[in-house]
Structure 1
Amino acid sequence: MEKYSQLVDFSSKHPNIVVALGMFDGLHIGHQEIIRTAVAKAHEINGTALVFSFANHPRSVIAPEGAPRRIGSDAVRARILNHLGADALVEIPFTSDFAETSADDFMQLLQRCFAPKYIVVGENYTFGRGGKGTTALLREKSETYGFQLIVCPSMMRDGAPVSSTRIRALIAQGELVRVREYLGYPFTIIGTVIHGQARGRTLGFPTANIALREDYERLPNGVYAVTVMHQGLLYCGVANIGNNPTFDGCDRRLEVHLFDFSGNLYDSEIMVTFYEKIRDELRFASVDALIAQIAEDKREVERKFEKSFHLQENISMVI
């Protein structure tokens, strides 16, 4: 999949463009249906499926005090789009100048840069300054600009449309089963292993440490059953999100102990996929008590993977 960070004349490079429009934060099951529809239509007309989105959430510019955290990293989004068969991702910065683009100007931009044969959106899609552009306006102007519009209905779960807002709330509550159902894949973090204080190694449970970014959604502090993908190999593991209160705390981070792994992970990129919360983060009265609990956590996770979890279940979306 190709990736572009600025607008050019894509119609001169790609024939018969089908463009999917949206923010696509987290690429949940509703977003996936939009992308699949665009890819299927592109195959049907021997064309190209392009996804047009933004590198930052529009609210980070329009109302920064209320800007939501991102659900998934760019790396996770790229993996899922590639899995879905998108030919290219056009992901530009949303700026204060772009925020002034009217709905009419935005449609002219689409025509100038994409000259799309089809535009595919969700039923709640809006565009242009103040969100004045709607699917009704796209349909009204479709003949003028020479495209056909496909509007995908919302995916429903628990009596309401699946949305990035609902998923953020579920992540904050640690509702991993429902998060997986709404996303269509388990909650996943891709990050680079940093140097920590090597306490895990001295305790007999070496860990890979990943810093947690403030602008991305995070699970509650606690211990989790996870898998870790490293250099094409999949490992079971136990992860802790928190501040290490037994040792008077540190910066909030993700620490992962990989089962049956030996080697150096520093500066490596790993993919951590979360399956179930095992317990809350606790402060222990002694180091020995902490070691005993970590050993029990590891046994508990091993039991769960033996009985309950299927490592490849839905994870193929992000591998």
Structure 2
Amino acid sequence: MQVYHKLKDFTKAFPRVAVALGMFDGVHIGHQSIIRRAVELAHSIDGTSAVFTFSNHPIAVLSPEHVPLQIGTPELKEQQAAELGVDLFVSIPFTRDFAQRTPEEFLALLRDDFAPSYVVTGPNYTFGQRGRGTQRQLLREGKDYGFQAEICLAILRDGRPVSSTRIRALIVDGNLAEANEFLGHPFRVIERVIHGDRRGRTIGFPTANLPIRAGTAMLPNGAYAVRVRVDGVWHGGMANIGDNPTFAGCTRRIEVNIAAFDGDIYDHELIVDFLAKLRDEQMFASVDQLVRQLKKDQAHAENIWRTQLR
């Protein structure tokens, strides 16, 4: 997959484009249906599948006090698009200047920079100044700009559409199983390892410390069974989200223990998939008590992740 963070004329390098449009926050099962349809249409015309999205939420520019927490990071969105078979990924910053484009100017941008044969969106997609452009306009006027529009149906669960808003609430409330079902994949964190206090090594449970990025949705504090990808290889593990109340002076972060792993991975990028919650965060009266609980957690986690490594 080729990735661009600026608009340019893609028409010569990427012919016969089927482009999926949307924010795709979390790349949940509804988003996946849109992207897969664009990939399918591109294959049908021996063309290029593309995603055109924004690296920041438009609300962060238009009404910063109301910007929602994001489900993951731009890097996560990019990776998941690649996993869905996208050829071209274009993610640009949403700016006030961009917000001033009329719906017709946005359609002209698509024509001039992508020359798409197909444009695929979800039922709630809007575009152009104040979101005045709708899927009806895409269907009605697409042919005037050289493309055929397809609007994918919403994916329903419990009679309601799956949405980033629903998933965001599930994550923050700690309903990991349902969040993972709606996402269509485990809740995932991609971050680089930062320096920690190195206490884990002294008690037999070394951890890789990951920051919790501001503005992203995060699970409640507690211990979780996870799988961890290090340098392309998946491992089982445990993760603790919190400020480690047994030890003073810790800030909220993710501490990941990778089973049977002892490499130096400082500043390496880790991919951590959250599979199930093991327990709430606890304060222990002693280090020995903490170690006993960690051994129980490890046995519990092993029963969970041993069938989910890939």
Deviation at 1:64, TM superposition (A): 0.6
Deviation at 1:295, TM superposition (A): 1.7
Residue 51 (str. 1) matches residue 37 (str. 2)? no
Deviations 1:25-61 (A, max 9, x none): 1111111111111111111112111111001010110
- What is residue 28 of structure 2 aligned with on the other side? 28
- What is residue 204 of structure 1 aligned with on the other side? 204
Deviation at 1:23, TM superposition (A): 0.6
Deviations 1:118-176 (A, max 9, x none): 11111111111111110111112122212111110011112111111111011111111
**Distance in 2 (alpha carbons) for counterparts of 1:16 and 1:133:** 24
**Distance in 2 (alpha carbons) for counterparts of 1:103 and 1:19:** 17
Partner of 2:50, secondary structure, is strand
Say which is worse superposed, 204-213 or 286-295, in terms of deviation: 286-295
Q: TM-score, normalised by structure 1?
A: 0.94
**Distance in 2 (alpha carbons) for counterparts of 1:273 and 1:93:** 27
Deviation at 1:91, TM superposition (A): 0.7
- What is residue 276 of structure 1 aligned with on the other side? 276
Deviations 1:38-87 (A, max 9, x none): 11111111211111100101011011111112112233222221121111
Structure 1: tracts of 5 or more residues without a match: 313-319
- What is residue 109 of structure 1 aligned with on the other side? 109
- What is residue 315 of structure 1 aligned with on the other side? none
**Distance in 1 (alpha carbons) for counterparts of 2:308 and 2:290:** 29
- What is residue 309 of structure 2 aligned with on the other side? 311
Number of residue equivalences: 310
- What is residue 264 of structure 1 aligned with on the other side? 264
Contact 2:237 2:257 in 1 (8 A): yes
AA aligned opposite 1:293 = Q
AA aligned opposite 1:182 = F
Deviation at 1:249, TM superposition (A): 4.0
Deviation at 1:303, TM superposition (A): 3.2
Q: How does 1:64-103 map to 2 (within 5 A)?
A: 64-103=64-103
**Distance in 1 (alpha carbons) for counterparts of 2:19 and 2:232:** 32
Deviation at 1:241, TM superposition (A): 0.3
**Distance in 2 (alpha carbons) for counterparts of 1:256 and 1:31:** 29
**Distance in 2 (alpha carbons) for counterparts of 1:73 and 1:268:** 17
Partner of 1:263, secondary structure, is coil
Residue 12 (str. 1) matches residue 12 (str. 2)? yes
**Distance in 2 (alpha carbons) for counterparts of 1:201 and 1:264:** 12
- What is residue 232 of structure 1 aligned with on the other side? 232
Say which is worse superposed, 199-208 or 287-296, in terms of deviation: 287-296
**Distance in 2 (alpha carbons) for counterparts of 1:288 and 1:15:** 63
Partner of 1:19, secondary structure, is strand
Which aligned runs of 4 or more in structure 1 are off by greater than 3 angstroms? 303-306
Contact 2:235 2:309 in 1 (8 A): no
Partner of 1:212, secondary structure, is coil
Contact 2:241 2:253 in 1 (8 A): yes
Residue 118 (str. 1) matches residue 112 (str. 2)? no
Superposition RMSD in Å:
1.3
Partner of 1:247, secondary structure, is coil
**Distance in 2 (alpha carbons) for counterparts of 1:283 and 1:243:** 10
Partner of 1:240, secondary structure, is strand
**Distance in 1 (alpha carbons) for counterparts of 2:43 and 2:279:** 47
- What is residue 190 of structure 1 aligned with on the other side? 190
Partner of 2:116, secondary structure, is coil
Seq. identity, %:
51
Contact 2:23 2:53 in 1 (8 A): yes
Contact 2:123 2:153 in 1 (8 A): yes
AA aligned opposite 1:51 = V
